[in-house]
Structure 1
Amino acid sequence: MDIRLLFLCAAGFVGAFVDSIAGGGGLVTIPAYLLAGVPPHFTLGTNKFAATMGSFVSTAGYARSSKINFRLLRTAVPLTALGAALGVYSVLRVPQDFLYPLVSIAILAVGLYTYFKKDLGQVNGFTEITTKKILLVSLVGFALGFYDGFFGPGTGSFLIFIFIRAFKFDFTNASGNAKLINFTSNFTSLLMFAFNGKIDYLLGVPIALFMVLGSFMGTKLAIRNGAKFIKPIFLIMSFAVFGKLLYGMLF
């Protein structure tokens, strides 16, 4: 294994570990691909390939522990797939630069609100499934599926925050439900990038193995330790995504 691949595998492991807990794994992996000299569209495609493998393991882990409400998400999943497909179609044709200031402000607001709202996500207050909730989560799935396919940074953080704030889940259940939506957008984006020939499989396959391991370990720790473990990592990743986006805007 050469030094470049070893570096990317290590970044993949760390990215998948944090992503399985609180989102934001792309903050680690995408700069690593670019630093290793992978062209931008191949960076997005190869990252989606490897991340989807890790995301599947994480989603399966949350599902086995009953941390995903499949009835609530039954229409959100196909709409997420549609949104992600449209997002990838768009990103291969138009620039993303106009999103930097908007997403930077949004992710900073999420981080600050979560920090100052001390009891946020500590107790699972989700009750019945209503038509209104199904419609809302479907809209969220479509919108963030598009965003994930088109741009991506902070998708997991936005999803977790919305599941906590709008649906009253605790951090653990919010992470589980967010992971199913995120896996759907990852898998759909992967198919789109593969169709357009934007995946380097020689890099993607070994990196995916390390991301599967990182996802497995992160998911086990998150389920075992709950909100007190997830919240600080969520905050770190939210502010880190903000810092990365701000740096991208300035430099």
Structure 2
Amino acid sequence: MEGDLLIGIILFFAGALAGFIDSIVGGGGLISLPALMLTNMPVAMCLGTNKLSSVFGSGTAMINFAKNKLVDWGFVKRIMPFTLIMSMIGAYIAVYVPGTFLKPLIIVLLLAVFIVVLTKKDWGAIAQVERKTGWKLIAYLAMAIIIALYDGFLGPGTGMFLIFYFLFMGYDFLGASGNAKVLNTVSNFGSLLVFIYMGQVNYGYGLAVAVGQIIGATAGSKLAMVKGAGLVRFLFITMSLTMLMKLTYDYLLSLGII
């Protein structure tokens, strides 16, 4: 009984920190997922339980960004159905197929994102959004579909990839973060439905993390709106580097190199 209480407390605080970071720039899974791994649940159940808490965290941040009119509903509502479906497909695959072979690709992509944002110092400071029609709209839709599939299948870095995706379209860091939270919430929800169907969710642990996520996401999203794009850019670079180092270490460890 005492052991369960201690685990619950650890998960709560891990969720609060994860929600805080994730609500601003993504990457909260770096904190919440390892915390859930401490419970010795199977990997698939840890992923499903993490999705349960992530829905609450990203959903809370989404509401706060939306209240402050930092969501372009005209565009994201077109992508939401595709995001939902592809995240469900990705989650279904994740139950049966290990995502190890994708890690080298994710490391390369994350490195590219990190370099671009680091070197383009004025990128994301001012919104310069152009209309998305024709082939350009199809290309953006295809990119969103790939990110949603990845989120359901593996997940690490999804929030950052979504922010980069919206920065690429001309949104500033705050707008990119707000839009990213909408799609991230949808993809989290879609993959959660599959994990629930497959019986891969521990509701007790998931809700312990979720309560923390709600508190952390509320604080994080409000801080981002007060401090502006400068804070979001700084944390984006910091979390990108942290995730890049973590994924590279894990991959080299799995190969027996270190």
Does TM, normalized by the shorter one, top 0.5?
yes
Matched, 1:241 2:243: yes
Residue 95 of structure 1 is matched in structure 2 by 98
Offset of 1:129 from its aligned partner? 4.3
What SS does the corresponding residue of 1:92 show, helix, strand or coil? Answer: helix
SS in 2 for 1:68: coil
Equivalent residue for 1:60?
A: 63
Displacement of 1:54 in angstroms is: 1.2
Whether contact under 8 Å (1:67, 1:172) holds in the other structure is: yes
Q: Deviations over 1:153-210 (max 9, x none)?
A: 1111111112112x11100000011111111100001111011111111111122111
Aligned to 2:131: 128
User: Contact 1:72–1:133 at 8 Å: present in 2 too?
Assistant: no
Q: 1:180 aligns with which of 147, 161, 182?
A: 182
Question: Which amino acid is the alignment partner of residue 202 of structure 1?
Answer: G
SS at 2:156's partner residue? coil
Which range moved further: 32-41 or 142-151?
32-41
Q: CA, structure 1 residues 133+216, in 2 after alignment: closer, same or farther (shift >3 Å)?
A: farther
1:147 aligned residue (145, 150, 161): 150
Q: How many residues align?
A: 250
SS of 1:85's partner is: helix
Question: In the alignment, what sits opposite 1:107?
Answer: 110
Q: Secondary structure at the match of 1:67?
A: coil
Name the aligned partner's letter for residue 250 of structure 1: L
- Choose which of 73, 78, 81 in structure 2 pairs with 1:78: 81
In structure 2, the partner of 1:190 is 192
**Counterpart contact for 2:44–2:94, Cα < 8 Å:** no
Amino acid at match of 1:67: L
Structure 1 position 136, deviation (Å): 3.1
| Distance apart, 1:38 and its partner CA | 2.6
Contact 1:76–1:138 (Cα < 8 Å) also in 2: yes
Q: Deviations over 1:204-232 (max 9, x none)?
A: 11221111111111110111211111011
**Deviation by residue 1:27-47 (Cα, 9 ceiling, x = unmatched):** 111111113323211110110
CA distance in 1, matches of 2:123, 2:157: 19
Contact 1:72 1:134 in 2 (8 A): no
| Most deviating of 127-136 and 153-162 | 127-136
What is the distance in 1 between the residues matched to 2:135 and 2:25? 26
Instruction: Find the counterpart in structure 2 of residue 20 from structure 1.
Output: 23
Partner SS state of residue 74, structure 1: helix
Q: Deviations over 1:27-75 (max 9, x none)?
A: 1111111133232111101100011011111111111111111111222
- SS of the equivalent of 2:75 reads coil
**TM-score, reference length from structure 2:** 0.93
Q: Is the 8 Å Cα contact of residues 76 and 139 (structure 1) preserved in structure 2? A: no
2:155 partner letter: G
Distance 1:147 1:240 in 2: 20
The secondary structure found in structure 1 opposite 2:76 is coil
Q: Within 2, Cα distance between the matches of 1:178 and 1:146?
A: 15
Runs of 4+ in 1 over 4 A off after TM superposition: none
- Percent identity reads 36
Asked if the contact 1:17–1:218 (Cα under 8 Å) also holds between the matched residues in 2, the reply is yes
Let me know the Cα RMSD of the aligned residues. 1.3
Query: What is the match of residue 163 of structure 1?
Result: 166
The answer as to whether partners of 1:73 and 1:138 remain within 8 angstroms in 2 is: no
2:103 and 2:38 map into 1 onto residues whose CA distance is 20
TM-score by length of 1: 0.96
Give, in whole Å, the separation in 2 of the partners of 1:134 and 1:57. Answer: 28
Q: Which runs of 5+ in 2 are unaligned?
A: 254-258
Q: Aligned-pair distance for 1:138?
A: 2.0
Q: Which residue of 2 aligns with 1:40?
A: 43
